[in-house]
Amino acid sequence: MKAMILAAGEGTRLRPLTATCPKPMLPLAGRPVLEHTLAWLHAHGVREVAINLHHLPQVIQDHFGDGERFGVRITYSLEEELLGTAGAVRRLEDFFRETFLVVYGDVLTDLDLSALLRFHQSHEGMGTLVLYRVHNPTECGLVQLDWDGRIRRFLEKPRPEEVFTDLANAGVYVLEPQVIAHIPPVGPSDFGRDVFPQLLERGLALYGYIIPATTRLIDIGSPEHYRLAQELFGQSIQEKG
């Protein structure tokens, strides 16, 4: 299976840390966050990875090279202008001919990808979104599920009066390549804001996979979350070596 890691963002909420370092390259237990993500993917059998770049791209390329040192083969996609989460995938549509993963570059997790893939395959939808429960739903893309896990509603970063659940988009997707045909061919496009709502309007099936209570998942996109990631993941990562 192939994976796309979204690593082009400028990480403005983490400045000044990200003024000279891309957000996915911030250190955690002595190694960049992106290195931990690659190790996680490799542990679940992923060997081909695409990474989109924009902010300080050479920092990532110099560290990872072609990926051989990390057990994967890396394809880079340099964006002169940010294309958004979906636009980044559309640009590499020839790379994704079978079921593939999309992972946000600021997400850290120990999610069991094998269990996620079994869920996706058994439901036979266009895509499966990993979901987790959040304390502040206004900061996230919220998802409403049917009894069978099918997504009925998706709302990106709602106003307080629009909140209808605490289930949020975790930034890990399993997608079928047919999804790419629904991404605009030019310009920026976002999965949560543009593509997923459009798929639902057309009656196409998306499913939500709620992470088990024992699974750790956090994005490092804010100073508070970055500090929390150090607490949640730092010690266990060091122990694993």
Q: Which residues are known catalytic residues?
A: 157
Nearest to 92 by CA among 199, 208, 207, 175: 175
* Segment (H or E) for 72: none
C-alpha to C-alpha distances, 134 to 34, 91, 125, 210, nearest whole angstrom? 23, 31, 25, 12
Write the burial class of residue 235 (CB in 10 Å: 0-12 exposed, 13-18 middle, 19+ buried): exposed
- The residue count for the chain: 241
User: Torsions phi, psi of 53, nearest 5?
Assistant: -130, 150
| Start-to-end CA span in the chain (Å) | 25
